[in-house]
Structure 1
Amino acid sequence: MISTPMTAGLVRGALELESTGRGLAPHRLPARARAQNTDPRLAMAEAQPAGVRLRFRTRARVVELETLPTKLVYAGAPPRPDGVYDLLVDGKLTAQASITGGDTVTVDMATGASSHREGTTGVVRFADLPGHLKDVEIWLPHNEMTTLVGLRTDEPVEPAPARERVWLHHGSSISHGSNAASPSGTWPALAAVSAGVDLINLGFSGNALLDPFTARALRDTPADLISVKIGINVVNADLMRLRAFGPAVHGFLDTIREGHPSAPLLVVSPILCPIHERTPGPGDFDHEALASGEVRFRATGDPAEVAAGKLTLEVIRDELARVVSQRQDPNLHYLDGRELYGAADFAEFPLPDALHPDAAAHRRIGDRFVEHAFGGPFA
């Protein structure tokens, strides 16, 4: 087997690779942004490599990837399945594997306290691959922090050529991939593979909150196409009122435009989520369901407070449409998220935890995004 040094030239979708002493840890926010963040949930989310993959060209029939995974455990909740590694050969999903063991982070959802336990590395092995020269991608688990340790093959590898266009996307846990079956099954990954573009996914679970450091990361990342999916986290975090939301969106878009003055920029409002359509946040776990081993969410706000400026998804959509129209930017576009997943889709594919789409709904959203975005402003 031939060992290939792990370098940035083999990795797609990460903004930085941090040398940890145990390997290379992909990050989806740069060090400057991480230094300004104070939320441990965002620190965890940006270190989970959603959309990050190794991409190379080879004739190898056997590929081995050694990594150090970090497993996330919620105290009192059902065990989470091991993260999945997806192998794509010439754009087609060919094999899947997982690694047991690794480090473990245990989080107490009631207090937010966490503890860390070190473990050992593991290896995923893909064999019996076709022997012709091919483009190989290994998509890293979207919901499991992963440190890259080693790549071994039975034939030499070289970096695969870059695709013509880079799509930079920012969003919430739905963009991050919550409830998707595997990393190439998240809706942004499905859309990117279908459209033939290089994806940089800055979807951060619980943290699409219009943070200025995230806007600067979007500004400073080279890209041809940009989309920002805004709203659900602002509501379920109960982060701001209507008075602050509109100016914050303007500021977020202003910052992106500093680095991308004319790139197609698509603002996407939330998909349908009945618990928050007319009920403000904060969102919370359904503790009765949690006690029975089921993870579900609920909205705890008072709809009567909408008149005083509290935000719901209906209010968010109206305000985003107004902001986009007001800016009169010919390369700025608005997409109502219910075009991706609306009432009819909810009837067919209900949100299993009342907040996140399941694997089938991720595919529906990805297909619809290709239709509305890559068949529209991204064409």
Structure 2
Amino acid sequence: MNELLTTCRSRGATIIHAPSDCMPAYQQHPARLRTLQLPAIAGRPADVEFWCSAIPTEEQALYPIDQSDGGEDDDPAEHAEWAATLAAEGRNPGLPWQTQNAAITIDPQRDFISDRGDEVWNILKHQHIENVILVGVHTNMCVLGRPFGLRQQVRSGFNVVLMRDLTDCMYNPHRWPFVDHFTGNDLIVSHIERFVCPTITSDQILGGLPHVSKYDQRTARDVLTATPGKPAETPGRGWWTPVTLPGSLPAEVGDVSQNTAVWLRCTVRLPKSMLTGGPAVLQLPADANATAWLNGKPLTPPTAADTAWPLPADAVLADGINLLVLKLQPGQSPSLLAEAPVVRCGQQTLTLAGRWQLQLDSGSDLSSIPLPAQFGIGSDVLFEPTMAGPDKR
């Protein structure tokens, strides 16, 4: 990667480093100060400062992998030992990085440093840049979704491409679609090619051949023909499968006992502008025998005379991506919900009709995930207000 940056810099390219979660280490770096000294240009796109979990071109796409476990595929014993070592050093095992990789050179005379979407947009406009190349990790999380990531670059009107051989995803092969790590990465790249933006490889600038990881032992590699693996079990039994609400259980789930509970989940972006309309509540059908969680926090059931579940103020991520989980108790299947859930804030509403994810209860607690929802849940089950008003993008 550093060879690429050096070559691009020598040809006049502007290099922006985005060391997310490591910005304190660069507060006094000349490349950071250069960023802060740029006057703000008018016309900044709306919401460019926020994480972006989907753009309109992804609306009909089925997200190709399940990354809701955080994508970790390391040995549990090794992971525990590594976490203990970090803790002993006074570092957060969940957020251990403190700086960008030291092998990547930051030119103090020319480069910029920012992990903010509004600042990156401002840099690009000041430099009269229209064409953007993104490299780095992780493809299915920060590279796609950060405020400076691929989706926001597309939304802002830049000609953006992903350099697909200098990126990598977080994916656990023991999760759907049950393929090896590198094929999982190819599935994400294929999703990006089809629904987000084009991709290129480093040899188109450096010459030679595209970079291939020494750990990638596959004999055939083609992101456009990468296909999901075969499921280990029937859809919805041990792994999440798509379902449309309101609606019934998908036929491929098969026969379900009346004693089996059903888990449902989606993500919801609630802008501050919507939350100022009044207390946020979740409205479910009156006959729904359910339990609900928002970002892992249980919702208090409504009284018998009400159908509104208050959303805990300390659980709501304003302008962020919220994980909403429902557990329908036995007796609800196979009809699931006769009406779509609705989030209400005063007079404003967001109807959660469309694609959710479903899994039959097997005794595991599925009310939360290890990472924030913006990292762990794909683009295909997101509900958010559109620019014109509350609706599903």
The TM-score normalised by the length of structure 1 is 0.27
Higher relative contact order (CA 8 A, sep 6+): 2
Higher helix share goes to which structure?
Answer: 1
The TM-score normalised by the length of structure 2 is 0.26
Question: Which structure is larger by alpha-carbon Rg, 1 or 2?
Answer: 2
Higher strand share goes to which structure?
Answer: 1
